[in-house]
Amino acid sequence: MSNIRLNNIAKRFGQTEVLKGVDLDIEDKEFVTLVGPSGCGKSTLLRILAGLEQPDEGQVLIDGKNVTTTRAADRNLSMVFQSYALYPHLTIRQNMMTPLKLRDLSTSQRLPFIGPFFARKEYKDLLSQVDRTANILKITELLDRKPGQLSGGQRQRAALGRAMVRNPLAFLMDEPLSNLDAALRVHMRAELTQLHQRLGATFVYVTHDQAEALTMSDRMAVMMHGKILQYGSPEDIYQNPATAEVAKFIGSPAINILSATVNDYAQICIDNLVLDLFAPTQEPKISIGARPEHLSFSDKTPSSISGFVHHIENLGADLFYHLKIKDEERPVVIRSAVGNGKRHQIDDLVHFELDLNSTLAFASDGTRLQTHRRLMDEIAS
Partner 1 sequence: MTPSRAHIWFVSPALLLMFLILLLPILVAFGISFTSFSLGNSGAEFVGFKNYEQIFTRSTYEKMFGATFRYVLTVVPLTVGLGLGAALLIHSLTRFGDLYKTIYFLPVMSALIAMAIVWEFAFHPTIGIINSTLERGCGTFLEGWNWYANGCEKTFPLWLTNRDYAIWTVSFIGVWQGFGFNMVLYLAGLTGIPRELYAAAEMDGAKSGWERFKLITWPMLGPTTVFVVTISFIRSFQVFDMVEAFYPQGGGPSKSVYVMMFAIYEKGIQQNLMGVGAAITVVFLLFVMFLTILQRWLVERRTHYV
What is the pattern of x (binds partner 1, CB under 8 A) and - over residues 35-54?
Answer: ------------x--xxx--
CB 135, min distance to partner 1, A: 21
From 146, 167, 33, select the one nearest 92 (Cα to Cα).
Answer: 146
In angstroms, rounded to a whole number, what is the distance separating the alpha carbons of residues 288 and 332?
12
Site for partner 1 in 158-177 (CB under 8 A): 162
Listed ranges 58-66, 68-76, 301-309, 358-366: which one lies at the site for partner 1 (CB under 8 A)? 68-76
Site size for partner 1 (CB under 8 A) = 29
Q: Which of 54, 89, 340, 358 binds partner 1 (CB under 8 A)?
A: 89
In angstroms, rounded to a whole number, what is the distance separating the alpha carbons of residues 371 and 275?
11
Burial classification of residue 42, based on how many CB atoms lie within 10 Å of its CB (0-12 exposed, 13-18 middle, 19 or more buried):
buried
In angstroms, rounded to a whole number, what is the distance separating the alpha carbons of residues 51 and 70?
7
What is the pattern of x (binds partner 1, CB under 8 A) and - over residues 330-369?
Answer: ----------------------------------------
Diameter of the chain measured on Cα atoms: 87
Q: Is residue 33 at the binding interface for partner 1, with CB under 8 A as the rule? A: no
- Give all strands of the β-sheet with 219-224 in edge-to-edge order: 78-80, 170-174, 202-207, 31-35, 219-224, 227-232
Q: Is residue 73 at the binding interface for partner 1, with CB under 8 A as the rule? A: yes
User: 230, 237 in Cβ contact below 8 A?
Assistant: yes
Q: Is residue 26 at the binding interface for partner 1, with CB under 8 A as the rule? A: no
User: 267, 278 in Cβ contact below 8 A?
Assistant: yes
Q: Is residue 189 at the binding interface for partner 1, with CB under 8 A as the rule? A: no
Q: Is residue 79 at the binding interface for partner 1, with CB under 8 A as the rule? A: yes
Q: Which is nearer to partner 1, 8 or 149 (CB)?
A: 149
**Binding residues for partner 1 (CB under 8 A):** 47, 50-52, 71-74, 77-79, 81-83, 85-90, 98-99, 102-103, 146-149, 162
